[in-house]
Structure 1
Amino acid sequence: MKKRIPLIVAVLALAVVIAIGLIDRYSPRYDAEYIGAAACGECHTQIYPEWQRSPHANMLRKPAPNSVVGDFDNASWTLPPAARRLPVDSEPAARMYAREGSWYMDLREPASDSFRTFRIDYVVGYQYRQVYLTREDGGVLRRLPLQWSVPRQEFFPYWNLQEKSTPTVPDLWAQMTSQNSAWNLFCARCHTTHLVINRKNANHTVADVEWADDGIACEACHGPGSLHAKYFESNYLNRISQWINSNLRGDPVAYIASAGKLNKGEAMSVCARCHGADIYMSGTDVYRSYEPGYSRTGHTNDLSAYFESAPLTPSRNIPTLETWSDGEPKGIGMLFRSLIESECYRQAEVRCYDCHNPHDNKQAAKPGLLFPSEASNDYCLGCHEDLRERVAEHTRHEPDSPGAYCYDCHMPKIITKLATGELELTRTHRMSLIPGAHDEWQPGNAPNACLSCHGLDAPAL
């Protein structure tokens, strides 16, 4: 009998666990509050430090020696030679310096030789370029017109570059009067977590706003976490119940949005809300009401109906939302749209986080997935199994050579970006067939993968 006691106890324990799983169900629809990333880190001790190192976590910061990447060591900026029309244009138009733990940018006023001082209250970004914000009396965080290019190691007028316009001192000031320069009424929605605009005026000179976390934190992607935290804190057995309900029954994770439990449209909406910039062209109100996860009063949880709502008009010239002459996505703001246009998205279950680590967004989900490699080929061959034994025949390139990997031909670098102040190309995510090297391509159309390497000597396919 004594030998059977452990077995009996184990059976009873299992019965209790199953009973808990059967009885303690949680609602798939709920209203929760935002509690901040630090609260998430108390339990998620492995993922939280990973996120803290990420560009998402460090997108918006107070100025400090470890956050300011621009040159504020008594630096200055002068209009480029081609933009100088008056003798004064050869003199500095801006001065940057630090004093007693604060950072400042002085801008020369158009009507005089005097400078006006702006204190830097926040910095945005650090990988490619850095934006500087100053707080006005009305509460608006105003975007200053000069940004720092990390690779060039110099200040530059970003929006003049995007709009292909000539910078002038009056124009730099005009950039600070445009409505979209009120950063915390526009850009903050994608650079903070849970932006709430309590009050603003028509001219966007008044802003009473708040947010849950600086940068893109846990709840920006997972939704509000108060009920999730309370559920697990209130009863340790809820962890067992949650495991049973989620892993054995397929229920959602308790009171939180977890990508693996969302349908494709809901899961991709988490990324689309900020990376699918052309959605705003036809669905501005929708993206403002979006919140990840499950239905809450007044919130939209699935943006997929709007992914392709903005037509791909040929030769569109809206900064960052450009298209090529054939209508193919061109600007960096169209990167998500290029994925949505692909058959890999439409006919399969391709998702952003298949390749991109969602908690450290500049890292790969698995080594080798973010560049042409055997690992990235293996990802593609997971669906295109029929090509696994004849990759060389399919690619018409020697193994390990440029062109021998799926990304080389099906994700060519045809998306343009000016994020650093220099024109760069990045890979389209429209994993499509390669157009005919000669008979389908016309100047102004999206560059052809074959012609990009071989020029007019590209072999016919």
Structure 2
Amino acid sequence: MESILFILLALVGLCLGWRLVEWHPFLRWGFLGLVVLSLTAAWQWRHIWVKDELSQRAFHQTLPKEGDQAAYVSSATCQSCHPSQHHSWHASHHRTMTQFVSQDAVLARFEKVSLNYLGRPIELSWEGDSLWATMDEPEWLFNTPEAELAESQKPPLTQRYQLGLMTGAHHMQVFWIPSGQGNAQRIFPFCFLTEDQRWVPFKDTFLRDPSMSHYDQSWNANCINCHVTQGRPMPTSPTATQTAVAELGIACEACHGPAAQHVSSNHSPMRRYEQHGLEKPDPTIVNPAHLDHERSSMVCGQCHGIHWISDSRDYYFNGFRYRPGGRLDRNKKPIRATRLKELPEVLQAVKQQPRFLADRFWPDGMVRVSGREFTGMVESPCYEKGSLSCLSCHQMHHSQPGTEAMEAWRDDQLKPEMEGSAACLQCHESIAADIPAHTHHSLESSGSDCYNCHMPHTTYGLMKAIRSHQIDVPSMEQSLKTGRPNACNLCHLDQTLSWTASHLEDWYGQAKPDLPHDDDPVAASLHWLLKGDAGIRALTAWHYGWEPAKQASGQGWQVPLLAGLLEDPYSAVRYITQRSLKSYEGLQDLACDFTGDSESFSEAAQWVRQEWEQTLTATPGPSDPQKVLFRTSTEWDAEKVKEWQSLRSNRSMDLQE
């Protein structure tokens, strides 16, 4: 049809032009030649346009299908009646959990970039609004042992792939390659770190045993669980899918439920007017703020929790059965490590997958990985015995769209008044009357901040330490049983476990437990930093750069001890260490590629110690040198540190954040 219309228009133009120039034969033939050239160029342009259009249509068939869910209407439909809420949601990181690739969505600014994955070159380049990767076939790349890639004689840059899907935007952006199997998506080997503004291998952004093979991931089997609104994997074979989602990202209906009935019911202006006059909520839509604390928290918990899929087949073809306002107890059941007896099928599975719990929980059942805040919060007395919910501290919409305050809100989506101890003191009014009497710290001290003692940074994720969402009290007994660093010694880096145990006994009546004999003379943080497993080393290295801890412990003595972790076998530990070291005077220019080679790590550690020695006079030494493995206030005990590092826990870790 388009071709016929094109020819008719061309003939009409030719006839009109012929009539206009019929008075002069020379102009007539010149015009005819011009028309022929124009028609040829136009036809060629149309051919290219049609070919490109068909190519893009075919490409979109390789991406998850959006909008194919009954009863869901999409966030665009919500905007007309709820513009303010839509605006703040659109500015949030929930919206960008999964997006189609475009120049506007990708935060990295480049036309073409050359990368290197274990010796194999990869090139990324833009062609208009399409992002292309020139690289080896992913199947070959991820199935070849890492040690063999650099030695391979296979010609590089043999294939081109268009990247159409991406996840994340807050801390990093991850990209996906269509696998060619339906619309299944396979991980692209590099991701973009937003804070550092650099591309790094995806495998190096997780706290994962470096001896493990490539970190190959399937978006359709993993990310779809929490990074879209109502996703259905829809496998068509062991490797192929026809995945469908209601909407990419975490959109309005992820929290408010399917809105088709709500939209249909409120088409009438009269009903909308009547509804505004009623005190009870609109029954056609869910507002989490109107639910009890358990059900409102489950709205968040559908993504921010550790779950067990009890009916895999049902999930694969229908997605999760949970809907906001209901309970998380159908085919997506919350796992509480403290109550595994309530889920016998999980107990059975754990026996077959012994790492399942260890890669997610501390030994006492406290969550140790990020993104699982609901699982932590439900273990808190404030939730179990009170009415604490996610919405006690967080809000999903900002009241002042487009302001600087909203920009700050985007980070954690905290209510403005909940950024400090007010979050706790809204319930604990008796403590609010005299905070220092409870904390035994001055009111201005970070030790009087409720969060620092009761929600310490003992959760790992996103290459940093994150606050635990299980509200707890510092306990020396628990710290000894689980190996988990306690809040007191994560702030007082230069103090021993014995020092902490004595204060907890004096201030709060906690019986002082028997302590390992070698813990008495040396600060607890040194044990964690030098002897701990990779997860504990990462948390401790982060605290060595945490400003409240540096203020409480003195600054400067940490540098030569921390420098050794630049050579840690885990790339995530090296990254955290480098970031913490840069927070010290004179080390802002530290250049160390945490994804590089062991020789460069050693050189960086040596440079750090040399810089530290040159600035000794400007930084006070430790108040008690022996507690932090120093011989004197200006000389660290290199031999002792090396001896302790040889005792490092090398147990394999793969934290499932």
- TM-score computed with the length of structure 1 as normaliser: 0.75
In the alignment, what sits opposite 1:134? 177
SS of equivalent residue, structure 2 residue 102: coil
In the alignment, what sits opposite 2:327? 302
Higher helix share: 2
Deviation of 1:239 after TM superposition, in Å, equals: 2.8
Deviation of 1:51 after TM superposition, in Å, equals: 0.8
Query: Does structure 1 conserve the Cα–Cα contact (< 8 Å) formed by 2:176 and 2:188?
Result: yes
In the alignment, what sits opposite 1:267? 296
Q: Find the partner of 1:241 among 264, 274, 283.
A: 274
Q: Find the partner of 1:208 among 236, 239, 242.
A: 242
**Percent of aligned pairs with the same residue?**
25
Query: Does structure 2 conserve the Cα–Cα contact (< 8 Å) formed by 1:129 and 1:150?
Result: yes
In the alignment, what sits opposite 2:8? none
CA distance in 1: counterparts of 2:185 and 2:487, whole angstroms: 43
Amino acid at match of 1:49: H
SS of equivalent residue, structure 1 residue 207: coil
CA distance in 1: counterparts of 2:106 and 2:478, whole angstroms: 48
Residues 258 and 121 of structure 1: CA distance in aligned 2, closer, same or farther (over 3 Å): same
SS of equivalent residue, structure 1 residue 49: helix
Matched, 1:95 2:123: yes
In the alignment, what sits opposite 1:258? 287
Matched, 1:290 2:315: no
In the alignment, what sits opposite 1:65? 103
Query: Does structure 2 conserve the Cα–Cα contact (< 8 Å) formed by 1:134 and 1:142?
Result: yes
Matched, 1:183 2:183: no
Residues 320 and 444 of structure 1: CA distance in aligned 2, closer, same or farther (over 3 Å): closer
In the alignment, what sits opposite 2:471? 431
CA distance in 2: counterparts of 1:346 and 1:211, whole angstroms: 34
Deviation of 1:327 after TM superposition, in Å, equals: 3.6
Deviation of 1:132 after TM superposition, in Å, equals: 0.6
Query: Does structure 2 conserve the Cα–Cα contact (< 8 Å) formed by 1:308 and 1:340?
Result: no
Deviation of 1:167 after TM superposition, in Å, equals: 8.1
CA distance in 2: counterparts of 1:32 and 1:203, whole angstroms: 26
Residues 219 and 414 of structure 1: CA distance in aligned 2, closer, same or farther (over 3 Å): same
Query: Does structure 2 conserve the Cα–Cα contact (< 8 Å) formed by 1:339 and 1:345?
Result: yes
Amino acid at match of 2:235: K
Deviation of 1:430 after TM superposition, in Å, equals: 1.1
Deviation of 1:68 after TM superposition, in Å, equals: 1.2
Deviation of 1:355 after TM superposition, in Å, equals: 1.6
Q: Which runs of 5+ in 1 are unaligned?
A: 1-30, 80-88, 295-300
Cα deviations across residues 145-198 of structure 1 (Å, max 9, x unaligned)? 322222333333334553624489xx55xx55xxxx33134322422222244x
SS of equivalent residue, structure 2 residue 433: helix
Query: Does structure 2 conserve the Cα–Cα contact (< 8 Å) formed by 1:192 and 1:214?
Result: yes
SS of equivalent residue, structure 2 residue 432: helix
Deviation of 1:254 after TM superposition, in Å, equals: 2.8
Query: Does structure 1 conserve the Cα–Cα contact (< 8 Å) formed by 2:101 and 2:165?
Result: yes
Amino acid at match of 1:209: T
CA distance in 2: counterparts of 1:190 and 1:229, whole angstroms: 25
Residues 96 and 302 of structure 1: CA distance in aligned 2, closer, same or farther (over 3 Å): same
Cα deviations across residues 308-345 of structure 1 (Å, max 9, x unaligned)? 4455899x855995223444321114332111111111
Amino acid at match of 2:327: D
Q: Which runs of 5+ in 2 are unaligned?
A: 1-68, 142-151, 341-349, 399-409, 505-657
Amino acid at match of 1:45: P
CA distance in 2: counterparts of 1:133 and 1:159, whole angstroms: 14
Matched, 1:45 2:45: no
Amino acid at match of 2:254: A
In the alignment, what sits opposite 2:415? 366
Query: Does structure 2 conserve the Cα–Cα contact (< 8 Å) formed by 1:265 and 1:304?
Result: no
Query: Does structure 2 conserve the Cα–Cα contact (< 8 Å) formed by 1:269 and 1:304?
Result: no
Amino acid at match of 1:366: K
CA distance in 1: counterparts of 2:314 and 2:439, whole angstroms: 42
CA distance in 1: counterparts of 2:116 and 2:431, whole angstroms: 56
In the alignment, what sits opposite 1:120? 163
Query: Does structure 2 conserve the Cα–Cα contact (< 8 Å) formed by 1:326 and 1:445?
Result: no
Residues 321 and 256 of structure 1: CA distance in aligned 2, closer, same or farther (over 3 Å): farther
In the alignment, what sits opposite 2:113? 75
Mapping 1:15-30, distance limit 5 Å: none
CA distance in 2: counterparts of 1:283 and 1:380, whole angstroms: 39
Residues 196 and 269 of structure 1: CA distance in aligned 2, closer, same or farther (over 3 Å): same
Cα deviations across residues 39-72 of structure 1 (Å, max 9, x unaligned)? 1111012111111111111222222222112365
SS of equivalent residue, structure 2 residue 175: strand
Amino acid at match of 1:404: S
Residues 384 and 283 of structure 1: CA distance in aligned 2, closer, same or farther (over 3 Å): farther
Cα deviations across residues 230-261 of structure 1 (Å, max 9, x unaligned)? 22212x3323433454x1xx4x4230111133
Deviates more, 1:63-72 or 1:221-230: 63-72
Residues 358 and 304 of structure 1: CA distance in aligned 2, closer, same or farther (over 3 Å): farther
Cα deviations across residues 58-110 of structure 1 (Å, max 9, x unaligned)? 2222222221123654323335xxxxxxxxx5x44422222333212233355
Query: Does structure 1 conserve the Cα–Cα contact (< 8 Å) formed by 2:366 and 2:470?
Result: no
Cα deviations across residues 351-374 of structure 1 (Å, max 9, x unaligned)? 11222221366354432424xx3x
Amino acid at match of 2:92: S
SS of equivalent residue, structure 2 residue 96: coil
Residues 324 and 433 of structure 1: CA distance in aligned 2, closer, same or farther (over 3 Å): same
Q: Find the partner of 1:229 among 242, 247, 263.
A: 263
SS of equivalent residue, structure 1 residue 359: coil
CA distance in 1: counterparts of 2:363 and 2:459, whole angstroms: 13
Mapping 1:396-411, distance limit 5 Å: 396-411=440-455
Query: Does structure 1 conserve the Cα–Cα contact (< 8 Å) formed by 2:257 and 2:323?
Result: yes
CA distance in 1: counterparts of 2:490 and 2:297, whole angstroms: 31
Cα deviations across residues 362-403 of structure 1 (Å, max 9, x unaligned)? 354432424xx3xxx233122212212121100111012111
Deviation of 1:426 after TM superposition, in Å, equals: 0.8
Query: Does structure 2 conserve the Cα–Cα contact (< 8 Å) formed by 1:146 and 1:156?
Result: yes
Deviation of 1:134 after TM superposition, in Å, equals: 2.3
Deviation of 1:119 after TM superposition, in Å, equals: 1.1
Residues 433 and 353 of structure 1: CA distance in aligned 2, closer, same or farther (over 3 Å): same
Q: Find the partner of 1:280 among 278, 294, 308.
A: 308
Amino acid at match of 1:322: R
Cα deviations across residues 212-232 of structure 1 (Å, max 9, x unaligned)? 322111011111111112222
The structure number with the bigger radius of gyration is 2
